[in-house]
Amino acid sequence: MYRGRSLDVIVTADILRAPWAKRYASASLVAELVDAFCEPDLALPDVYDLLLGAVGAIAVAAAPRSLLPRFCLRLLEMLGLAPPLTTCIRCGEPLRAGQLWLDAQSGGIVDTACAERWRDLPELEERDVESLRALALPRGEATAAALNATPAAAGAVQELVAHHLGRRPKSLAHLGTFGA
């Protein structure tokens, strides 16, 4: 506070507790992605319904950030950009249990044979791929497990979004200030 002649002036203020901050940051990311991926004059009712559902869920969720991987993967699916989750993105062979890698540049998951040439790809365990498959389930088929991505699956979705967007979403930086 600064003491003026007749009134005191607030010079600075610090927020000690803001229960809405994580919700706001999560909703900002949802809005940024829809704005970045969708044309302004193109009607996409499925994307609009997804947006409404995501904002409604974020408003009441105890951990709103945990809803973002599912939203992002469903958005990519609706726009035709989601990765195939049962076949290798490079050779088209069915994915087998074992070592799998995310190749965001190619837009999906690669198997051992195709990853031999690319040693710097992030590795995914079978449970991470199963988590991605659960996240991609349509609304009526989703279970409670579909709402919680493994950390590697959430990171894979984030990498795919960044690849298709051509940059990291700006809202992600703000969301990162709240930790995992």
Phi then psi for residue 2, to 5 deg, are -120, 130
- The band of 1, judged by pLDDT with boundaries at 50, 70 and 90, is confident
* β-strand partners of 124: 100
pLDDT exceeds cutoff 90 at 136 = no
For the chain, counts of helices (H) and of strands (E): 7, 5
CA–CA dist 15, 158 (Å, integer): 29
- Residue 123 is predicted with a pLDDT of 82
- Looking at the whole model, is its pTM more than 0.85? no
Mean pLDDT computed over 143-160:
83
Q: Specify the pLDDT at position 157.
A: 93
- For residue range 36-80, list pLDDT tens digits in order: 999 988 899 999 999 999 999 999 998 899 999 999 999 999 999
The whole-number pLDDT of residue 175 equals 75
pLDDT for 9 beyond 90:
no
Q: Helix, strand, coil % (nearest 5) of the chain?
A: 50, 10, 40
Domain 19-176 is in which class? mainly alpha
Can you give the residue ranges of every domain in the chain? 19-176
CA distance 135 to 71: 8
Nearest residue to 26 via CA among 2, 1, 62: 62
Q: Which of 10-19, 52-61, 116-125 has the lowest mean pLDDT?
A: 116-125
Name which residue leads in pLDDT, 127 or 17.
Answer: 127
